[in-house]
Structure 1
Amino acid sequence: MKKQILRLCSVFSPDLELFPFFIDHYKKIGVDSFHIILHLPENMLHLIDEKLLVFREQGITPEKIYTGNWSGGITTSLINETINKYSDDWFIVADSDEFQIYPNDIKKIINSKNDNVDYISGCLLDRFTQDGDLPLINYDKSIWEQFPMCGFFAFPIADSWPYKITACKGHITLSEGSHAVIAEDHLITNEIICQVHHFKWTGSYINRTQKKLKQESNGEWEDDFYPFYGDELRRALDYLNKNNNKFNINSELFRVEYSPAPKYECYSKWNEIARLLESWDKQDREKFRDTLLQISM
């Protein structure tokens, strides 16, 4: 039997604060080949040597350097273009702040799939510090220990779609943000098995988000970006502004638990959230949110 090569495709912005942790995590779960695209806008090309040094320190060569304006659509096009070169190989597809955890060895999972199954689905989970603040990254400490709390914030507050395609065959076409598979001009989903731990809430979050919203208002985003993305960013910022730039990790709505290790079984509310999302009527976001609220009462 031909050895199954597990590849990974991602697009990184010039902000590489999680890059060392990201590469280390995915090497540990079995990724054989990294196809990472560096997005470095033309006005930041003077930083290219500095950014490439970060890649070299992790033994990675960029698949490509993209210098145009950002949009979610362009990012997804770059990913689809890359994975389509290896149509029969499996790819993990992850944003730069997404650390996936599977119930078993990922290679055993993909090898067990029959010929009719060519992608795996997951759900975003948010990582927090123990007191809910937004810390600077400490490179001498495990990222899991720095953000030992696991919960579910982005959808209930920011209305961000939590469903993700986490791994797929290279012939698959992903929708914007890798939130679904496109087949015959419609979106399809399947059973959710992968936990996507989202290390978004770091000390640079507010500055990064304000910069993105400024780019939106200046018309610097490409025309094909997801039209509600700016609204999602504003909702998250509004929440933080009202709460002194901290998360209330004691809120039942966020379903936060202490989960300091990258182990699938650590977060006890996982099955509850995943099964709810699978059963959700995708035409009605309020149904899923209301169900969460009822459980929290």
Structure 2
Amino acid sequence: MLTAPPPMIAVIGPVEPPLLTSWVAHYHELGIERFLLAFHFPDHVPTDLRHELHATIRELGIIPTGCSTGPWHEHTNTQLRDALRATAGPGWHLIADADEFQQYAAPLHEITDHADRTRHKTVGGLLLDRISTSGRMTDWSPAQGLDHAYPLGGHLTHRLLYGDPRKIVLARHDIALASGNHRAPGHHADPAHLAAVHHFKWRSGILEDLRRRVTHFSSGTWQEHTPAVRDEASRLLTHLNDHGGAINFADPRFAFRRVSLDQLPYNWLAEAHTIHTTWRPRTPTARN
């Protein structure tokens, strides 16, 4: 007898409604039946978009658990996520952002069964940044789909932005997660069984969002624990300025190649294992 699939835990910001629709469809295909979602809208988000997102999620048969507005402090996501997890109850929880499409080497019940057998209380993933063939932050349409609009996958987050590419994608209910779902303090995911987390962040509109983060975190309008988020945003903006407004996908450091949500990238488990076990955060001296 198969165990029930884990509930989805997600905090949703002001994404475009078609992305939310595609995201829900993707996780339905993975077997997710229960979605515990909370919206958070900073003050700049138009009322029309807020109403449209609420209508979209309800048309998909999901009633949002909560909605908040105001500054997007660094702790905002963490607090909302943890409240959703408390509502979800015991068992495994699947955690994802709205631009993260997780991909596994086996059905979810096999993934969690294996973790239980090996006494792992978390399952890890690794970000695979998805970009357009031009490297520019382009629009996309539901007719073409995300795979077609952003067919290249590579390692932008840690090799350009020096961000943490590791993600906790599944966790037992009693395991606390760090900000951004990057770590579970005191627990280590099995590096030999890492999901690919297709990261569809680099779309039209993201540059305005990054500039807003730099401005608000620098001014203190939005509270931060460390300067990491705005530092990463600044690095991308500088890179784009140096490369005519596009990501330099030809740079071999980033290992961009054509990938798909239909199957794991070639040699993914070995590639992800190497990155996961060797990545270290930059020291303050290296950042400077």
Q: Report the TM-score, using the length of structure 1 for normalisation.
A: 0.86
User: What is aligned with 2:41?
Assistant: 40
Q: More deviation in 73-82 or 48-57? A: 48-57
User: What is aligned with 2:172?
Assistant: 169
User: What is aligned with 2:9?
Assistant: 9
Gaps of 5+ in 1: 287-297
Secondary structure of 2:130 counterpart: strand
Verify the 8 A CA contact 2:217 2:223 in the aligned structure 1.
no
Verify the 8 A CA contact 2:138 2:203 in the aligned structure 1.
yes
Shift of 1:45: 7.7
User: What is aligned with 2:124?
Assistant: 121
Letter aligned with residue 170 of structure 2? A
Verify the 8 A CA contact 1:40 1:66 in the aligned structure 2.
yes
Deviations 1:191-243 (A, max 9, x none): 251101100111111111112222223322135x4431110110011101111
Identity of aligned residues (%): 23
Shift of the 283–141 alpha-carbon distance from structure 1 to 2, 3 Å rule, reads closer
Gaps of 5+ in 2: none
The correspondence of residues 172-251 of structure 1 with structure 2, limited to 5 A, is: 172-183=175-186, 188-191=188-191, 192-223=193-224, 225-251=225-251
Shift of 1:285: 7.1
Query: 131, 140, 146: which is aligned to 1:143?
Result: 146
For 2:46 and 2:145, locate their aligned partners in 1 and report how far apart those are by CA, in whole Å.
31
Verify the 8 A CA contact 2:23 2:99 in the aligned structure 1.
yes
Q: Give the length in aligned residue pairs.
A: 280
User: What is aligned with 1:70?
Assistant: 72
Q: More deviation in 148-157 or 189-198? A: 189-198
Secondary structure of 2:138 counterpart: coil
Shift of 1:155: 0.8
The answer to whether residue 102 in structure 2 is matched with residue 100 in structure 1 is: yes
Shift of 1:46: 3.6
Verify the 8 A CA contact 2:91 2:172 in the aligned structure 1.
yes
Shift of 1:113: 3.0
Alpha-carbon RMSD: 2.3
For 2:273 and 2:260, locate their aligned partners in 1 and report how far apart those are by CA, in whole Å.
23
Letter aligned with residue 279 of structure 1? T
Verify the 8 A CA contact 1:180 1:189 in the aligned structure 2.
no
Letter aligned with residue 124 of structure 2? S
Shift of 1:177: 0.5
Q: Report the TM-score, using the length of structure 2 for normalisation.
A: 0.88
Letter aligned with residue 221 of structure 2? E
Verify the 8 A CA contact 1:55 1:61 in the aligned structure 2.
yes
